[in-house]
Amino acid sequence: MYGYIDGGRWGKFLEQFGVFDLPATFVLEMEAKKYFPFPKIVSDDESEQNRRVRTVAEQEEFLGKVKAGEIDRLDQINGNGGGLVGAIKSVWAGVLNNLPYSLVIIVVVVGFLGWSLWLLFEDDGYADLVDEVAEGEESKKDK
User: What residues form DSSP beta bridges with 111?
Assistant: none
Residue 116 in 3-state DSSP? helix
Query: Which of 1-5, 49-53, 90-94: highest mean pLDDT?
Result: 90-94
pLDDT, position 80: 44
Closest CA to 95 of 106, 108, 81: 106
Q: In angstroms, what is the C-alpha Rg of the chain? A: 26
Long-range contacts of range 67-73, CB-CB < 8 Å, 24 or more positions apart?
A: 71/27, 71/36, 71/37, 71/39, 72/36, 72/96, 73/29, 73/32, 73/34, 73/35, 73/36
Q: How far is the C-alpha of 88 from the C-alpha of 19, rounded, in Å? A: 15
Higher pLDDT, 61 or 38: 61
Backbone dihedral angles phi then psi of residue 117, each to the nearest 5 degrees: -65, -35
pLDDT band at 100 (very low <50, low <70, confident <90, very high): confident
Q: How far is the C-alpha of 34 from the C-alpha of 93, rounded, in Å? A: 12
> Would the pTM of this model clear 0.75, i.e. be above it?
no
